[in-house]
């Protein structure tokens, strides 16, 4: 029977071998954290390698994602569908072992990690999801939701501000089934961290409401075992286990130095490290007895079978709840959804009383009021701007410490954490999360938005105060480049509706989109309702459509979205009065429009019509892809000013007269 040191050294050997073969990687963290990993994965982690998606498995997040070979070694040895051939192909094109873990690629990887701090912050969302689902579905001792979230993290994660935001909230909420193991080796890429990271981390976490276990010997499996058992004995608050380790453990010349961090050890040092560890096997060779000791499939099969039996009894006692839980975890929308979606469009397309102009943020709130009762999986929130962004629907139940049967989260002024926690809720399953802040502050959310797109997760950002129409708040609050930046992010759908009907469709499309995130960009100021036929109403779903047309082939096409659509329509009317044939194309979602078939796109934007003007009170450069070099863009090329919105639009050229002038110059 192999010793625990030998089992940990198997992880170290795989990391050394794969990194040397690839010629790149980070050997230091896997070498230092192997004993921590052996303790958790062989002694405590509830999972089944034969079914990586088992809904009541423990979640594991490698927040310091550069330690990816540690995780790949764990998955391989534990019995996941990750072969030695894939270990040999570490960091190669198309392999199941990319440089940093990717959840949509590698079996058993629960989250794509790489940007430091995102992993631990997202894990907070996973732990929160577990508590919320448990509060909603567990009955009379039948705890069908009962699992933990485990995180490995290092100094780099703790330096990133997002980790403090998320961990502060985790402590406030008392997420006691969240356990983080801190790889405390005092080294980062640039060297010893004491010159730039000298805060009392344990005291900081204690101040945030965490239980902290200090000075655990992270190179001693038994010591890690004892710390984990102590964490499991209490569920009143999350636990941070501070594991003292040595980066590059076993390397004769690089252990304890930054030299082991981000580059292969080199052939000679690798050979010496293997010898120092007493690992006598050839590269990529693992003895069968080591495989047998690591194999988690028998215990995993037993654990899942016990859960299956529990769920069968649960389904017999509460069949409707069981069916609802299964639906939620599959990510399927309820049978009532189509009717709710249809009702939202009908109501929001109707004229407002007295012809009142309605801000799309208010229209979005009205949509939520209609669809939320049909979507129990919908969980909203805001970064301390609930009243301004309109994210709290009628009947929403606010989450609070000890009150997890809820569907609305007050994140506080934590845009970074809100966005990563939303990703965690989506990754865990059972929820469609959305959260709101001002569009200009979406910059704080960008890492999480990008990761949601990479992971293809259904997460919805509600981003209001969409232009210089914010007015007196001035350029610090007036977005210019944000929508363009989001539109340039692959896999993100950015909806900027012009009125209630488009707001309804935007929300419906975001909910129905199961393969990626959506950003709903909403106005603060009231916008005029646009008249549409039933056919036009249906075409909103295509992302771009002809809102106002002329007789015959147009001479000029005006393209717009959001609050500027009304301006484009009035400009078209003015051009028509001058004998010009003008078409107005509303483009609420460029990404969806670009996915339409070529024939439809040609029908909306005829290639023969080269005279085109785009109008948006945001960054101008985005729109050249639609207007071409012969066209014009009426947009922003500077930051805004602090003044009433009614003065800002004329000042920056957002007038009928200017749009008409630009059109006439190219006709």
- Contacts with 372 (C-beta within 8 Å, 6 or more apart), sequence order: 378, 393, 394, 395, 396, 407
Count of Cβ atoms closer than 10 Å to residue 365 Cβ: 19
> Cα 375 to chain center, whole Å?
20
Task: For 78-127, give the secondary structure using H, E and C.
Answer: HCCCCCHHHHHCCCCCCCCCCCCCCCCCCCCCCCCCCCCCHHHHHHHHHH
What would the two tokens of residue 415 be?
């845009």
Q: What angle do CA 579, 583, 586 make, to 5 degrees?
A: 150
What 3-state class would DSSP assign to 477?
A: coil
| Nearest Cα to Cα of residue 268 among 20, 478, 494, 53 | 20
State the Cα–Cα distance between residues 54 and 223, nearest whole angstrom.
30
| Nearest Cα to Cα of residue 613 among 551, 645, 563, 656 | 656
- Contacts with 405 (C-beta within 8 Å, 6 or more apart), sequence order: 132, 135, 136, 397
Catalytic residue chosen out of the listed positions 102, 415, 502, 591: 415
User: Mind giving me the DSSP string for 41-59?
Assistant: HHHT----TT-TT-TTSPE
212: left (phi over 0), alpha (psi -120 to 50) or beta: beta
331: left (phi over 0), alpha (psi -120 to 50) or beta: left
State the Cα–Cα distance between residues 564 and 575, nearest whole angstrom.
17
Pairing of strands 612-619, 632-636: parallel
Write down the residue that tokens 């198997």 correspond to. Answer: 10
- Contacts with 373 (C-beta within 8 Å, 6 or more apart), sequence order: 340, 395
433: left (phi over 0), alpha (psi -120 to 50) or beta: beta
State the Cα–Cα distance between residues 425 and 435, nearest whole angstrom.
12
Half-sphere exposure of 59 (CA within 13 A, CB side): 32
Core vs surface per residue 1-25: b (16+ CB within 10 A) or e: ebebbbbbbbbbbbbbbbbbbbeeb
| Nearest Cα to Cα of residue 129 among 56, 222, 233, 37 | 56
What would the two tokens of residue 224 be?
């890690």
What would the two tokens of residue 232 be?
């499991």
User: Mind giving me the DSSP string for 511-568?
Assistant: HH--SS-EEEE--SS-BPPPP--HHHHHHGGGS-EEEE--SSS-SEEEEE-GGGHHHH
Task: For 5-21, give the secondary structure using H, E and C.
Answer: HHHHHHHHHHHHHHHHH
Count of Cβ atoms closer than 10 Å to residue 290 Cβ: 18
State the Cα–Cα distance between residues 510 and 493, nearest whole angstrom.
8
**591 has catalytic annotation:** no
Using CA atoms, how far residue 399 sits from 43, 121, 297, 580, in Å, is: 33, 18, 37, 56
Torsion on CA atoms 651, 653, 657, 662, rounded to nearest 10: 160
Catalytic (active-site) positions:
415
């Amino acid at each position: 029977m192999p010793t625990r040191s030998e089992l940990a050294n198997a992880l170290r050997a795989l990391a050394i071998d794969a990194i040397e073969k690839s010629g790149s990687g980070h050997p230091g963290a896997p070498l230092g954290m192997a004993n921590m990993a052996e303790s958790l994965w062989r002694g405590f982690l509830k999972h089944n390698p034969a079914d990586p998606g088992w809904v009541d498995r423990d979640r594991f997040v490698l927040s310091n994602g550069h330690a990816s070979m540690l995780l790949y070694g764990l998955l391989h040895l534990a019995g996941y569908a990750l072969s030695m051939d894939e270990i040999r192909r570490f960091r190669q094109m198309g392999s199941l072992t990319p440089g940093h873990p990717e959840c949509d690629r590698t079996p058993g990887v629960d989250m794509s990690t790489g940007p430091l701090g995102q992993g631990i912050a997202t894990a907070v969302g996973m732990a929160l999801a577990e508590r919320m689902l448990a509060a909603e579905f567990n009955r009379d001792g039948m705890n069908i939701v009962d699992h933990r979230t485990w995180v490995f993290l290092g100094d780099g994660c703790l330096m990133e501000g997002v980790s403090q935001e998320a961990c502060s909230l985790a402590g406030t909420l008392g997420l006691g089934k969240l356990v983080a193991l801190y790889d405390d080796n005092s080294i980062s890429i640039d060297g010893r961290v004491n010159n730039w990271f000298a805060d009392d981390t344990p005291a900081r976490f204690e101040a945030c409401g965490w239980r902290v276990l200090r000075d655990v010997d992270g190179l001693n499996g038994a010591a890690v075992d004892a710390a984990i058992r102590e964490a499991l004995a209490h569920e009143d608050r999350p636990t941070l286990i501070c594991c003292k380790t040595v980066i590059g453990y076993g390397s004769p010349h690089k252990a304890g130095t930054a030299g082991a961090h981000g580059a292969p050890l080199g052939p000679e040092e690798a050979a010496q490290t293997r010898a120092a560890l007493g690992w006598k096997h050839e590269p990529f060779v693992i003895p069968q007895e080591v495989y047998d000791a690591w194999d988690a499939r028998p215990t995993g099969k037993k654990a899942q079978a016990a859960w299956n039996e529990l769920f069968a009894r649960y389904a017999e006692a509460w069949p409707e709840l069981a069916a609802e839980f299964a639906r939620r975890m599959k990510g399927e929308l309820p049978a009532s959804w189509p009717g709710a979606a249809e009702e939202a469009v009908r109501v929001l397309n109707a004229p407002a009383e007295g012809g009142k102009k309605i801000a799309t943020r208010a229209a979005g709130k009205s949509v939520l009021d209609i669809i939320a009762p049909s979507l129990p999986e919908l969980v909203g929130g805001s970064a301390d701007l609930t009243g301004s962004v309109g994210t709290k629907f009628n009947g929403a139940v606010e989450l609070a410490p000890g009150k997890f049967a809820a569907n609305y989260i007050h994140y506080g002024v934590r845009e970074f954490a809100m966005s990563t926690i939303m990703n965690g809720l989506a990754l865990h399953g059972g929820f469609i999360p959305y959260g709101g802040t001002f569009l200009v502050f979406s910059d704080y959310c960008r890492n999480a938005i990008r990761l949601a797109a990479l992971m293809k997760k259904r997460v919805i950002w509600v981003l209001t105060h969409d232009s210089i129409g914010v007015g007196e708040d001035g350029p610090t609050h007036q977005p210019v480049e944000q929508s363009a930046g989001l539109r340039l992010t692959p896999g993100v759908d950015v909806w900027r509706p012009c009125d209630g009907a488009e707001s309804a469709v935007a929300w419906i499309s975001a909910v129905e989109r199961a393969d990626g995130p959506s950003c709903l960009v909403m106005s603060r100021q009231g916008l005029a309702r646009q008249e549409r036929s039933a056919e036009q109403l249906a075409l909103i779903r295509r992302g771009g459509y002809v809102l106002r047309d002329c007789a015959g082939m147009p001479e000029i096409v005006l393209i717009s979205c959001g609050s500027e659509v009304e301006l484009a329509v009035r400009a078209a009317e003015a051009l028509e009065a001058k004998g010009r044939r003008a078409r107005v194309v509303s483009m609420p979602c460029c990404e969806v429009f670009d996915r339409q078939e070529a024939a439809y796109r040609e029908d909306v934007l005829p290639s023969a019509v080269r005279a085109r003007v785009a109008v948006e009170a945001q960054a101008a450069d985005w729109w050249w892809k639609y207007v071409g070099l012969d066209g014009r863009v009426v947009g922003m090329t500077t930051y805004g000013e602090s003044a009433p919105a009614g003065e800002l639009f004329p000042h920056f050229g957002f007038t009928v007269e200017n749009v008409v002038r630009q059109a006439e110059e190219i006709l």
